[in-house]
Amino acid sequence: MKKHNFSAGPCILPQEVFKEASQAILDFNNSGLSILEISHRSADFVSVMEEARSLALELLGLKDKGYKALFLQGGASMQFLMTAYNLLEKKAAYLNTGTWSSKAIKEAKLFGNVDEVASSKDKNFNYIPKSYAIPSDADYFHCTSNNTIFGTQMKEFPATNIPMVCDMSSDIFSREIDFSKFDLIYAGAQKNMGPAGTTLVVVKEEILGKASREIPSMMDYSVHIGKDSMFNTPAVYAVYVSLLTLRWIKAKGGIKAMEEHNNKKAELIYNEIDRNPLFTGFAAKEDRSAMNATFNLVDESHKETFDKMWKEAGVNGLNGHRSVGGYRASMYNALSLESVQVVVDLMKELENKV
Ligand SMILES: *Cc1c(COP(=O)(O)O)cnc(C)c1O
């Protein structure tokens, strides 16, 4: 039985993508070869890479606006240091909204001063700080659009005249944003775009080349841009599956359609969290994430019963992260409204039972 997959990442991808991706392992483009055995320099793969880079920019509305898209390796965690390596000369401004922001800050400190403009650590990151000043003499401002672990999401982004860098790992392609506000966006594929193994980086070329340090080739965005994201062997299969997902997003109506669907799912679960006296939401209401809904049982003694119920119903990955506890429903693009309804029905059932 196919499970209702609420896993936080790696996570659900469209069924159509799984089918096409598995076919390509046996015979890619009727070439008589598997995608796993072809050269990354072959015409077939070069066209996959080109289409993936171009489609990513197209879906984000960033085509012909001075941006380049790259598919790199090392995860979003590598971007924590690579952004600083390339952009941090003296000082950078960081908004600390959770575990991932904190990790980005730690890496950036290896390259220069970090001005933590605001933090929500005082309340275990259950909200997004709102009023803070971004120093205009910083090299860039860094934020995390969606906090996968705590279930908060930035609904607005500050206005600043310095370059904006954003970790969008867990909500890229999930909602319409004016992406042109950002100068560098990165996202590990495995939350909403593809399998683990590749990371999308979208960078405005004009911000590069300003830091004075020597940058090793593999860490240098300009080197990767100069080689069309093929400086070394890319994650061939991960890029291919990401391309299939990007095509799926486009065919479904693009980011706008994803956002409408995601909002319906979020509304459904949050309404139940608020209505059901057995449950309580973790994140501040105005900052709730449409991707990762975090909630707890008011009375922990129901945990065993509820856990048994959802596991028996074929629900996967509903346990919260250890730093929050309780539950986390990750509702990425490919998750259906029906799957969310299953969990909501179980919450109601628990209410009637106890
Ligand atoms: C998962 C995640 C990361 C870490 O990604 P890796 O690819 O495992 O390095 C970073 N930032 C956010 C927001 C995430 O959700």
Q: Please write down the HEC assignment for all residues of the chain.
A: CCCEECCCCCCCCCHHHHHHHHHHHHCCCCCCCCCCCCCCCCHHHHHHHHHHHHHHHHHHCCCCCCEEEEEECCHHHHHHHHHHHHHCCCEEEEEECCHHHHHHHHHHCCCCEEEEEEECHHHCCCCCCCCCCCCCCCCCEEEECEECCCCEECCCCCCCCCCEEEECCCCCCCCCCCHHHCCEEEEEHHHCCCCCCCEEEEEEHHHCCCCCCCCCHHHCHHHHHHCCCCCCCCCHHHHHHHHHHHHHHHHCCHHHHHHHHHHHHHHHHHHHHHHCCCEEECCCHHHECCCEEEEEECCHHHHHHHHHHHHHCCEECCECCCCCCCEEEECCCCCCHHHHHHHHHHHHHHHHHC
Determine the atom of ligand 1 nearest the C-alpha atom of 75. Answer: 7
Q: Does 69 map to a domain? A: yes
Q: How many domains does the chain have?
A: 2
Cβ of residue 75 lying under 6 Å from some atom of ligand 1: yes
- Distance (angstroms) between ligand 1 centre and the Cα of 233 equals 22
Q: Is the CB of 77 under 6 A from ligand 1?
A: yes
Cα 333 to Cα 291: distance, rounded to the nearest angstrom:
8
- Domain identity same for 229 and 293: no
Domain end: 251, 274, 294, which one? 251
CA of 59 to the centre of ligand 1 (A): 21
Whether 285 is catalytic? no
Claim to verify: residue 47 and residue 179 sit in the same structural domain: yes
Q: Which of 251, 284, 306 represents a domain boundary (last residue)?
A: 251
Do 184 and 65 fall into the same domain? Answer: yes
Taking alpha carbons only, the member of 68, 111, 49 closest to residue 221 is 68
For residue 323, give the CATH number of its domain. Answer: 3.90.1150.10
184 and 103, same structural domain? yes
List per-block mean pLDDT (blocks of 10 residues) for the chain, which spans 354 residues.
94 97 97 97 97 98 98 98 98 98 98 98 97 97 98 97 98 98 98 96 98 97 98 98 98 98 98 98 98 98 98 97 96 98 98 95
The per-residue pLDDT for 54 is 98
Query: Are both 96 and 214 inside the same structural domain?
Result: yes
Q: Looking at the structure, do residues 144 and 268 belong to the same domain, yes or no? A: no
Number of other residues whose CB lies within 10 A of the CB of residue 303:
14
- Sequence ranges of the binding site for L-glutamate: 41
pLDDT at 1: 79
Cα distances (Å, whole numbers) of residue 195 to 20, 285, 312: 14, 31, 27
Contact predicate 49/234, CB 8 Å: yes
**Which residue's CA is minimally distant from atom 8 of ligand 1?**
75
* Ligand 1 neighbourhood includes 100 CB (under 6 angstroms): yes
* 6 belongs to a structural domain: no
Domain shared by 237 and 342, yes or no: no
3 domain residue, yes or no: no
For residue 173, the domain's CATH number is 3.40.640.10
248 is catalytic: no
Residue 120 lies in a domain: yes
Span from the CA of 143 to the centroid of ligand 1 (angstroms): 13
**Atom number, ligand 1, closest to the C-alpha of residue 144:** 13
- Residue 234 within any structural domain of the chain: yes
Same domain, 128 and 200: yes
Q: Note whether 53 and 177 are within 8 A (CB).
A: no
Same domain, 68 and 38: yes
Q: Is residue 7 part of a domain?
A: no
The answer as to whether 9 is a domain residue is no
Output the pLDDT for position 227: 98
Residue 42: per-residue pLDDT:
96
Report which of 23, 158, 27, 30 is spatially closest to residue 94, judged by C-alpha positions. Answer: 158
- Give the predicted TM-score (pTM) of the model: 0.98
Token pair belonging to 284: 């501040």
Domain endpoint, select from 232, 251, 270: 251
| Nearest residue by C-alpha to atom 5 in ligand 1 | 76
Of 68, 191, 204, 265, the catalytic one is 191
Predicted pLDDT at 94: 98
Q: Are residues 260 and 171 in the same domain?
A: no
* Ligand 1 center–CA 167 separation, angstroms: 8
* Residue 9 Cβ contacting ligand 1 at under 6 Å: yes
Question: Are residues 162 and 244 part of one domain?
Answer: yes
In this structure, the answer to whether residues 37 and 81 fall within a common structural domain is yes
* Residue 1 included in any domain: no
Structural domain boundaries, residue 132: 15-251
Answer for the pair 293, 331: CB distance below 8 angstroms, yes or no. yes
191 in catalytic set: yes
